[in-house]
Amino acid sequence: MVQLDEKINAYLDINKIYQVGSDYVTGQPEGEPNQIIYWNASVLGQQPDQAQLDSAYIVWQGQQIQLQNSSQAQELLSQTDWTAIASVADPALSNPYLTNQQEFLTYRSTVRNLGVNPSTTPAVFPTQPTPTWSN
């Protein structure tokens, strides 16, 4: 279960509200749910209601997944950068030479698209081809 403080932090992040110190305090009065006890409106603006906090948290989660997808795409591309070098697949320049460079170029194009246009849901990345070398 998501804690109230996590939702508040997501709300502040989404709205680009930067706090210093204790501009809000949460607590759980006896027999009641966790709630905002203090909110410094002069620093943070109007106190959000539960619906605003819930909505901001959903948006924030999507942004975090986008960042993860983009980061994973960058990592996968960096692992296969060497396959995009023209000479690696040129028999006149490399011995042995990569015979399935086109598979890697197609793979890299798909991965790059997932990184440039990251989804708010976890991406399903294609399987990296296995290098095939000439004899």
Q: How many structural domains compose the chain?
A: 2
pLDDT at 1: 66
Residues 26 and 69 in one domain: no
Low-confidence winner among 13-22, 54-63, 69-78, 90-99 (lowest mean pLDDT):
13-22
Residues 38 and 75 in one domain: no
Q: Which of 47, 46, 1, 55 is nearest to 26 (CA)?
A: 47
Average pLDDT value for residue range 109-117? 97
pLDDT at 2: 80
Q: Which of 95, 90, 129, 91 is nearest to 109 (CA)?
A: 129
Q: Which domain holds residue 42?
A: 1-48
Q: Is the pLDDT of residue 21 over 90?
A: no
For residue 129, being part of any structural domain is answered with: no
